[in-house]
Structure 1
Amino acid sequence: MSTDVDVLIVGAGLSGIGAAHHLRTAFPGLTYTILEARDTIGGTWDLFRYPGVRSDSDMHTLGYRFKPWTQAKAIADGPSILSYVRETAEAAGIDRHIRFRHRVVRASWSTEDARWTVEARHDGDPVTLTARFLYVCSGYYHYDGGHTPDFPGVARFRGTVVHPQRWPEDLDYTGKKVVVIGSGATAVTLVPAMAEKAAHVTMLQRSPTYVLSLPAEDRIANTLRRLIGPKRAYFVTRWKNVVMSTFLYQLSRRRPHVVRNLIRKATIRQLPPGYDVDTHFRPRYDPWDQRLCLVPDGDLFRAIRHGRASVVTDRIAEFTETGPRLESGDTLDADVVVTATGLRLLAFGGMELIVDGRAVELPKTMAYKGMMLSDVPNFVFTIGYTNASWTLKADLVGEYVVRLLRHMDEHGHDVAVPANDDPSVTERPLLDFDAGYVLRSIDEFPRAGSRAPWQLGMSYAHDVVNLRHGKVDDGVMRFTRRAVRANK
């Protein structure tokens, strides 16, 4: 593979493989390379290997726009999603353009050369590549480890403590007492999955999360696939689910009490009579202030009904030799404690960005359309929706990059850079989301603006209009040609 390419993609996960597919389809002659820090394709879906790992979105929207999801289950398990990503890469020959175990540490832009020089480490050795365009698809969290609070006395605990992001292959919890600390998507996935083999699983949460049960299989999608074929069925189902999720999100923001009551009533129906729903499943915040947790076919509630799992809402005072002691004075005996306590955010995989010799301070930049940075040329990144499937946005970013590159080629431009010259645009957090993992690190990320195009949009339909059909040359994006030095 060449060390000088048209587009250098960072990350071979769901976003990176999708980005490469969009580029190679639109520009068969374009040269590209993907740098992947790990030794395999798949990103999140290869990294997380805890019991029951699955999507928290339906695969008709988490799947690529260009590759229909044809399996019966819409809420899919991790291995199925990983196979889907790998099949996409292999079918298009994208896997032959990936350099594995290449961790990008620095990227330097030269206006004189209209090129990025990207430095990576490969098995400890330095590797340098150059590219016309840099396309970062590394997600937004640390792959090296998740967030674990400093629990007092945890060293005294005689059992096993594991974080879902680093799940031991040889962990045997059969017939053992398990405590899962957390209440987010990972916790509500782990509890019913581990309850199938464990003696008992307790979900210990500081505060409740909204949990919504959905069918694992989309009957409409499966019926349409038989009647009109996979491609047309996928298109219809994708938009059906987009409309439904958008409606739920908008209703949550405008009439939160309505959605709160609907979720509460649905929860009551799935739990044993007299269950203390308001203590364990009634959050203090409104729906979609944080992401809703989906449980396929109500598996979490079923495990509780059958006595294989329970929920405790309390805070940890300290760990004893046998398990966490709570502020209420109770102690939860455990053989295994799982700290499903969230992610640690990391912008652009931790790489250093330099433009013409000057280090880019991310909090001083502003995100253009949630996918480029002010005053950083020929640079694109992917951050998905927090209120919908990640890939909906990733696909749109890929389509926009194709349009941007085509516009540059047609007009002879070498450089595209967003410039914020409007002093009336005020700063906002990039992610307007109250989840703990976001609040802990959002100040280290680029900023958003008070109005378009300096906002990370959370409406897929709105982004379809703007990213797929809106003007590329919008007066904010500045295009230039590289200055040709005269021969001496």
Structure 2
Amino acid sequence: MATPYSATAEPLLDVLIVGAGLSGIGAAYALQERCPGKRYAILEAREAVGGTWDLFRYPGIRSDSDMYTLGYGFKPWKNPKAIADGPSIRSYIEETARESGILQHIRFGHEVIGAAWSSTEACWTVEVKHHSTGEARTLRARFLYVCSGYYSYEEAHRPTFPGEAEFQGAVVLPQFWPQELDYSGKHVVVVGSGATAVTLVPAMAKSAAHVTMLQRSPSYIVTRPSEDAIAAKLRQYLPAQLAYRATRWKNVLQSIVLYRIARSKPKLAKKRIVQLAKQELGPDYDVGTHFTPSYKPWDQRVCVVPDGDLFQAVREGHATVVTDEIERFTASGLRLKSGQELPADVVVLATGLKIKLLGGMQLHVDGQLVEPNQSLTYKGMMLSDVPNFAMAFGYTNASWTLKADLTAGYVCRLLRYMDRHHLDIAVPRKEQNVEPEPFLNFTSGYVQRAQAVLPKQGSRRPWKVYQNYLQDLLTIRFSRLADGVMHFGPKGVMP
């Protein structure tokens, strides 16, 4: 990869982390604790810590995973709300970075454009652009650790519809929420049925005249208490760290069991979820149309509503669910394919994310372009034939942080192993007898749209992506590093 500018002379870094969100701060903490003395830096394209939790500012923004597993294993979540709001999560990440001395290692406003690996030098040369000055710089690091998430911060999935130019109201995207938007006393239509939509509807219904959730097809939606009663009890009788760990494991095991039941007995799980929706909405509500998906539970992510807030908004008449498709925008709202007219002053397109792998950077290895969609993922966190590289990619059926924590631990194990054996290069080599399979077995639109972008998993270990914390705990934390697939060597030639 060509470097069209002169580099600013800087010492060689041991590890360069990309992204100062939940994963990046966790990775830095693991490095400080388990690999003391390693020189590292974090590059963050935005001007603040938090990643997702700094970007999204739409009404009601919150986690859909409990904070005892979405939070860090080393820092207890002390807020009584297990399903937490976005600002609280952002503060928690910032506090972690500040208390741990990580802030001083972050270079804000630095976007990574590309990275080139040289086996001769056994290091990455990373091209960086500083947003405020436009200055281009080059950094060098022995290990590249990408914690930038999996979607674009600059673009959302934004379908277009006939008649939009006629519409007299406002059309907004949750990812780019206009803070000056006043929807109080207005009619709002939220287009979508995923986690963002089910968060927006009850939050906006508190002050809007009425909110309609318009969906092409239903999602699975389940109620969960916003506060964990067992966690509260444990905090009364146990030290904070012990209570937190006990709650964390309780929630990990509970999610694994419920997921296994749902996947092994999908008809039973579907029936139970629909029954729970009917209990929330009453016997006369048409849950068959509006809350009964055509797919199996966990073919797409199950949406969580804390304390049943969405159901409450519908039950009390502040919100309505309509299952239909948009034919066109009109001056005063939306006309649906059924002929129904929905009046709207504000239309929110909660239509999904746009996948952007590795923060959009290009990788080159010894002059060859890396095409991630042609690569296999080693243990769900490294790319085949890409040396001294890892990426944080969390679970789709559980908290993101659980997998990110395991990845950070593995990277530290790998670095210590290489130090002990005086090795410079570690690379998982693709095996010929492994069949490629989709990286994510999800039917969600954002995943299906990204099949040409995402890497693949393999048909057997260590190329499998398990989506199971206990299996990953065994294969990542306790497995042999020199497993015959991971190749090691000194600088000079790719092993």
The one-letter code of the counterpart of 2:265 is R
Deviations 1:231-250 (A, max 9, x none): 11111111111111111111
Instruction: Name the structure 2 match of 1:219.
Output: 229
The one-letter code of the counterpart of 1:99 is R
Please say if 1:456 is aligned against 2:465.
Answer: yes
Please say if 1:278 is aligned against 2:288.
Answer: yes
Q: CA deviation at 1:272?
A: 3.5
Deviations 1:375-415 (A, max 9, x none): 11000001100010000000000000111101100111100
Q: 2:479 pairs with 464, 470, 475, which one?
A: 470
Q: 1:15 pairs with 23, 38, 45, which one?
A: 23
Q: Equivalents in 2 of 1:399, 1:2: separation in Å?
A: 27
Structure 2 vs 1, CA of residues 413 and 335 (structure 1 numbering), >3 Å: closer, same or farther? same
Q: Does the residue aligned with 2:53 lie in a helix, a strand or coil?
A: helix
Q: Does the residue aligned with 1:165 lie in a helix, a strand or coil?
A: helix
Q: Equivalents in 2 of 1:288, 1:364: separation in Å?
A: 26
Instruction: Name the structure 1 match of 2:182.
Output: 172
Instruction: Name the structure 1 match of 2:277.
Output: 267
Structure 2 alignment gaps of length 5 or more = 1-8
Instruction: Name the structure 2 match of 1:5.
Output: 13
Please say if 1:79 is aligned against 2:87.
Answer: yes
Instruction: Name the structure 2 match of 1:443.
Output: 452
Q: Equivalents in 1 of 2:165, 2:50: separation in Å?
A: 34
Q: So what's the TM-score if we normalise by structure 2?
A: 0.96
Instruction: Name the structure 2 match of 1:201.
Output: 211
Q: CA deviation at 1:424?
A: 2.0
Please say if 1:289 is aligned against 2:293.
Answer: no
Q: CA deviation at 1:431?
A: 1.1
Q: CA deviation at 1:442?
A: 2.0
Please say if 1:432 is aligned against 2:471.
Answer: no
Q: Equivalents in 2 of 1:470, 1:3: separation in Å?
A: 33
Instruction: Name the structure 2 match of 1:375.
Output: 385
The one-letter code of the counterpart of 1:467 is I
Q: Equivalents in 2 of 1:182, 1:96: separation in Å?
A: 40
Instruction: Name the structure 1 match of 2:3.
Output: none
1:75-474 to 2 correspondences below 5 Å: 75-123=83-131, 124-421=134-431, 423-474=432-483
Instruction: Name the structure 2 match of 1:482.
Output: 491
Q: Is contact 1:3-1:128 (8 Å) kept?
A: no
Q: Does the residue aligned with 1:344 lie in a helix, a strand or coil?
A: strand
The one-letter code of the counterpart of 2:354 is R
The one-letter code of the counterpart of 2:236 is R
Q: CA deviation at 1:145?
A: 2.0
Deviations 1:151-188 (A, max 9, x none): 11112111000000000010000000000000000000
The one-letter code of the counterpart of 2:25 is I
Q: Equivalents in 2 of 1:3, 1:373: separation in Å?
A: 27
Deviations 1:315-358 (A, max 9, x none): 00111111111000011010000000000001101101001111
Q: CA deviation at 1:425?
A: 0.7
Q: Equivalents in 2 of 1:29, 1:407: separation in Å?
A: 15
Instruction: Name the structure 2 match of 1:40.
Output: 48
Q: CA deviation at 1:3?
A: 5.0
Q: Is contact 1:13-1:137 (8 Å) kept?
A: yes
Q: Equivalents in 2 of 1:145, 1:483: separation in Å?
A: 40
Q: 2:64 pairs with 49, 56, 59, which one?
A: 56
The one-letter code of the counterpart of 2:391 is F
Q: CA deviation at 1:2?
A: 4.6
Q: Equivalents in 2 of 1:34, 1:469: separation in Å?
A: 27
The one-letter code of the counterpart of 1:453 is P
The one-letter code of the counterpart of 1:196 is K
Structure 1 runs (4+) greater than 2 angstroms displaced:
1-4
Q: Does the residue aligned with 1:33 lie in a helix, a strand or coil?
A: strand
Deviations 1:31-80 (A, max 9, x none): 10000011110000000000000000000010011111111110000000
Instruction: Name the structure 1 match of 2:5.
Output: none
The one-letter code of the counterpart of 2:106 is I
Q: Which moved more, 1:452-461 or 1:208-217?
A: 452-461
The one-letter code of the counterpart of 1:414 is D
Q: CA deviation at 1:462?
A: 0.6
Q: CA deviation at 1:448?
A: 1.0
Q: Equivalents in 2 of 1:244, 1:261: separation in Å?
A: 19
Aligned CA RMSD, in angstroms, stands at 1.1
Q: Does the residue aligned with 2:342 lie in a helix, a strand or coil?
A: coil
Q: Does the residue aligned with 1:121 lie in a helix, a strand or coil?
A: strand
Q: Does the residue aligned with 2:142 lie in a helix, a strand or coil?
A: strand
The one-letter code of the counterpart of 2:86 is G
Structure 1 alignment gaps of length 5 or more = none
Structure 2 vs 1, CA of residues 3 and 162 (structure 1 numbering), >3 Å: closer, same or farther? farther
Q: Equivalents in 2 of 1:189, 1:263: separation in Å?
A: 18
The one-letter code of the counterpart of 1:265 is Q
Q: Equivalents in 1 of 2:28, 2:398: separation in Å?
A: 22
Q: Does the residue aligned with 2:364 lie in a helix, a strand or coil?
A: strand
Q: Equivalents in 2 of 1:457, 1:33: separation in Å?
A: 30
Q: Is contact 1:425-1:449 (8 Å) kept?
A: yes
Q: CA deviation at 1:6?
A: 0.3
Q: Equivalents in 2 of 1:95, 1:119: separation in Å?
A: 22
Q: Does the residue aligned with 1:312 lie in a helix, a strand or coil?
A: strand
Q: Equivalents in 1 of 2:460, 2:328: separation in Å?
A: 46
The one-letter code of the counterpart of 1:434 is T
Q: Does the residue aligned with 1:142 lie in a helix, a strand or coil?
A: strand
The one-letter code of the counterpart of 2:248 is R
Q: Which moved more, 1:129-138 or 1:269-278?
A: 269-278
Q: Is contact 1:51-1:190 (8 Å) kept?
A: yes
The one-letter code of the counterpart of 1:26 is R
Q: Equivalents in 1 of 2:350, 2:177: separation in Å?
A: 11
Structure 2 vs 1, CA of residues 20 and 357 (structure 1 numbering), >3 Å: closer, same or farther? same
Q: Equivalents in 1 of 2:166, 2:110: separation in Å?
A: 39
Identity percentage over the alignment? 59
